[in-house]
Amino acid sequence: MITAHAFTAISTAFLASVVEVTEAYTIVLAVGLSRGWRSASAGTFAALAFLAIAVAAFGPLLEEVPLSNLQLPIGLLLLVFGMGWLRKAILRAGGVIPLHDESAIFANEMARLQRAGMRSKGFDMPGAFTAFQGVLLEGLEVVFIVIAVGAGRGLLVPASVGAALACVLVLLIGALIHKPLSRVPENTLKFAVGAMLTSFGIFWVGEALGIAWPGADLALVYIAAAFLLLGLTAASRLRRLSI
Amino acid sequence: MKLLRELASEIYSMFAGDAAMSVFVVIIVCAAAALRYLTPLPSYLIGFGLLAGCLVLLALRVFSYSAKARGR
């Protein structure tokens, strides 16, 4: 039977990957259309290989460390990281900072790549490097999330599968429509993932301090719900303030 | 070199995009640890204190950023 912990870990990795892969896809699409698909694919696959190696190297290494030694540092990192995502999602939902606009990012990236000079006849190095950098930077957060929610509890493989499924799903949709995925509700997903990561962080820090959470693993659910509720209330208040 | 700079900046923004919030999170966790080991309070109360502290901190950081942004 799948536990609340495993379910949260897999869905967090999946949803976080949808957000990050959507952003990376925009850059790869711009590279593909402006500099050629050979360089875009080479840069993308090189970065994906690099990220997979990072998970394969650090994940099992952390699995060797006793869970009690991992909970506090990983919990603290997850807490800081998750609250950062939530803060940004609330500010975006409240209209304080602009929403992530994939179409605008795509247009900027296309203009920047076209300014970068003539496309070379063979392998286009600037294009490959841009795709590599875009996928690597966006993927870094996914790697952190997969390792943080998966390591120490034997959930590394399920979390990686969740992330890989998101990657395949976004790339499949992208391959079909050949446009930036501006209709993906990135901020809503960021909201949900931020609440889940923060919940993991508080839960793990609490466990490291010897706190017995009422409801055991179910605490993940009510902690995430408390953050979601706060986030939605704060975003609605910010929207009213900005009118 | 540029890639390494970008990587370092990405990692920094992952954990310290709002540096003050990150510092206060550490302070809240330290306070929870102190309460856990130095007082006879039931552990679940400290857990809820940790949760409440993080919720209040998040609300404060969001509204202070919004006030600053509106003042600009």
Q: Which residue on chain B is closest to A224 by alpha carbon?
A: B51
Q: Which positions in chain B touch A76 (Cβ < 8 Å)?
A: 25-26, 29
- Interval A218-233: pLDDT, tens: 999 999 999 999 999 9
Residues of A in contact with B56 (CB under 8 A): none
By Cβ distance, the residue of B14, B22, B61 closest to A144 is B14
Give one DSSP letter per residue of A24-66, joined into a string. Answer: HHHHHHHHHHHH-HHHHHHHHHHHHHHHHHHHHHHHHHHHHS-
User: Given the structure tokens 């999946």, which residue do they identify?
Assistant: A14
**Which of A54-63, A75-84, A118-127, A234-243 reaches the highest mean pLDDT?**
A75-84
DSSP, collapsed to helix, strand or coil, labels residue A180 as coil
Domain count within chain A: 1
The domain limits of chain B are 2-70
Is A211 close to B70, i.e. CB distance below 8 A?
no
Residues of A in contact with B66 (CB under 8 A): 91, 94, 96, 238, 241
Name chain B contacts of A81, Cβ cutoff 8 Å.
14-15
ipTM value for the complex: 0.93
Q: Is A86 on the interface with B (CB under 8 A)?
A: yes
Task: Report the C-alpha gap between B57 and A108 in whole angstroms.
Answer: 35
Q: What is the pTM of this model?
A: 0.89
Would you call B55 and A96 a contact, using CB atoms and an 8 Å cutoff? Answer: no
Q: If you compute the radius of gyration of chain A from its CA atoms, what whole number of angstroms results?
A: 19
- Range(s) of the domain holding residue A116: 4-242
Rounded distance between C-alpha atoms, residue A139 and residue A39, angstroms = 18
Sequence-distant contacts of A109-117: CB under 8 A, at least 24 apart = A109/A26, A109/A27, A109/A30, A109/A31, A110/A30, A110/A33, A110/A34, A113/A30, A113/A31, A113/A34, A113/A35, A114/A34
Decide if A81 touches B, using CB distance below 8 A.
yes
Q: Residue A119: is its pLDDT beyond 90?
A: no
